[in-house]
Amino acid sequence: MTFHKEGYTSLALCILFIFVLNAAIHYFDANAVIRWLGYIISFALFVIIVQFFRNPHFDIIQDDKIVLCPADGKVVVIEETTETEFLKDKRIQVSVFMSPVNVHINRNPISGVVKYFKYHPGKYLVAWHPKSSTENERTTVVTETKNGTQVLFRQIAGALARRIVWYVKEGDKVEQGDQFGFIKFGSRVDLYLPLGTKINVEIGEIVKGGRTVLAELPA
């Protein structure tokens, strides 16, 4: 377990705030109750930042026939829908909601070549809102496997999230399970899978990025 690079600025600001808060408490010679309240707030804030930007290490099993979960969280959508931005056909949508207590690293669900990438500025509706997929700040990535299967996935900012980070661009060759991005403070990832894909999870199921086998692609 290490600390993710995307958290360096947040950690520095947190430490600065803790220093100023405790310096003020001691400068004004606050009573014992105020001092202990300051210590508790300082400790809680530090723990929250460290746990949010934690970067767990684990072995990733790659398999061209499966779709790995792109993020830690809970499955909130499994439905057939029409993808209108790039694929423009019917797909199975699977959405994973990440709460502030989840690891917010995003991982490639499949190996292949990035055929399409686009960043969309937008709103900050709560991540489970039906319109968050089309109106919130988001990125769209389409990766094509060596067999020609295309999978589209989106990073979607939530009500608390104010920054989406991505590490891929069109033409990149990506490996299943590697990091492709990060979303700060509450968010969602949508996947659009080919019809005929076997979905291995259920609504409400808790899943792990890079470890849970979300689905099996059709032959």
User: CA-CA distance, 207 to 213, in Å (whole number)?
Assistant: 9
Count CA atoms within 13 Å of residue 160 on its CB side: 12
The angle at the Cα of 4, spanning 134 to 183, to the nearest 5 degrees, equals 10
CA distances 113 to 39, 104, 144, 176, 190, Å, are 49, 23, 5, 11, 19
Q: Is 191 exposed, middle or buried (0-12, 13-18, 19+ CB in 10 A)?
A: buried
Region of residue 112 (phi > 0: left; psi between -120 and 50: alpha; otherwise: beta): left
User: CA-CA distance, 77 to 96, in Å (whole number)?
Assistant: 7
Q: Can you state the angle between helices 32-52 and 8-27, rounded to 10 degrees?
A: 180
Catalytic residues: 187
